[in-house]
A and B are shown apart, each in its own frame.
Chain A
Amino acid sequence: MFLDFFRRNKKSSAQKAKERLQIILAHERVSNKAPFLEDLRKDLIKVVAKYVDIDPKEIEVSLQRDNSIEVLEINIPIK
Chain B
Amino acid sequence: MSGKVITITSGKGGVGKSTTTANLALGLALAGKKVVAIDLDIGLRNLDMILGLENRIVYDVVNVVEKVCKVKQALIKDKRVDNLFLIAAAQTRDKSAVKPEQVIELTNELKKDFDYIILDSPAGIEGGFRNAMLPADEVIIVTTPEISAVRDADRVIGILEANDKKEMSLIINRINPTLVKKGDMMSKDDVLQVLNIPLIGVVPEDENIVSYTNIGEPSILHSDSPSGKAYKNITQRLLGKDVPFMEIVERKKGIIEAIISFFKE
Could you say which of B182, B187, B194 contacts A25, with CB atoms under 8 Å apart? B194
What residues of A have a CB within 8 angstroms of the CB of B180 in the complex? 14
Could you say which of A3, A15, A68 contacts B183, with CB atoms under 8 Å apart? A15
Q: Quick check: A68 and B194 within 8 Å, CB to CB?
A: no
Q: Quick check: A25 and B154 within 8 Å, CB to CB?
A: yes
* Contact indicator per residue, chain A 33-66, by CB within 8 Å of chain B (1) or not (0): 1000000000000000000000000000000010
Q: Quick check: A12 and B194 within 8 Å, CB to CB?
A: no
Residue A1 is within 8 A (CB to CB) of chain B in the complex? no
Residue B151 is within 8 A (CB to CB) of chain A in the complex? yes
Q: Quick check: B196 and A68 within 8 Å, CB to CB?
A: yes
Chain B, interface residues (CB within 8 Å), range:
20 to 34
What residues of B have a CB within 8 angstroms of the CB of A14 in the complex? 145, 180, 183-187, 190
Residue A72 is within 8 A (CB to CB) of chain B in the complex? no
Residue B155 is within 8 A (CB to CB) of chain A in the complex? yes
What distance in Å separates the Cβ of A19 from its nearest Cβ neighbour in chain B? 10
Q: Quick check: B155 and A18 within 8 Å, CB to CB?
A: no
Q: Quick check: A13 and B154 within 8 Å, CB to CB?
A: no
Complex interface residues of chain B between 229 and 259 (CB less than 8 A to chain A): none
What residues of B have a CB within 8 angstroms of the CB of A18 in the complex? 186, 190, 193-194
Chain A, interface residues (CB within 8 Å), range:
20 to 34
What distance in Å separates the Cβ of A24 from its nearest Cβ neighbour in chain B? 7
Complex: chain B residue closest to A67, CB-CB: B196
| With A3-B265, A28-B154, A28-B155 as contacts: A17 and B197 at CB distance below 8 Å | no
* Contact indicator per residue, chain B 186-214, by CB within 8 Å of chain A (1) or not (0): 11001001101100000000000000000
What residues of A have a CB within 8 angstroms of the CB of B182 in the complex? 12
Complex: chain A residue closest to B197, CB-CB: A68
Residue B158 is within 8 A (CB to CB) of chain A in the complex? yes
Residue B147 is within 8 A (CB to CB) of chain A in the complex? yes
What residues of A have a CB within 8 angstroms of the CB of B158 in the complex? 28-29, 32-33
What residues of A have a CB within 8 angstroms of the CB of B190 in the complex? 14, 17-18
Cα–Cα distance between A67 and B195 once the two chains are bound (Å): 10
What distance in Å separates the Cβ of B264 from its nearest Cβ neighbour in chain A? 12
Cα–Cα distance between A3 and B265 once the two chains are bound (Å): 9
User: What are 8 contact pairs spanning A and B, CB under 8 A?
Assistant: A3-B265, A12-B184, A14-B180, A14-B187, A18-B193, A18-B194, A28-B154, A28-B158
Interface residues of B (CB under 8 A from A): 145, 147, 150-151, 154-155, 158, 161-162, 180, 182-187, 190, 193-194, 196-197, 265
Interface residues of A (CB under 8 A from B): 3, 12-15, 17-18, 20-22, 24-25, 28-29, 32-33, 65, 67-68, 70
9 shortest interchain CB distances as A-B pairs: A12-B183, A18-B190, A14-B186, A17-B147, A14-B183, A21-B194, A25-B154, A13-B184, A32-B158
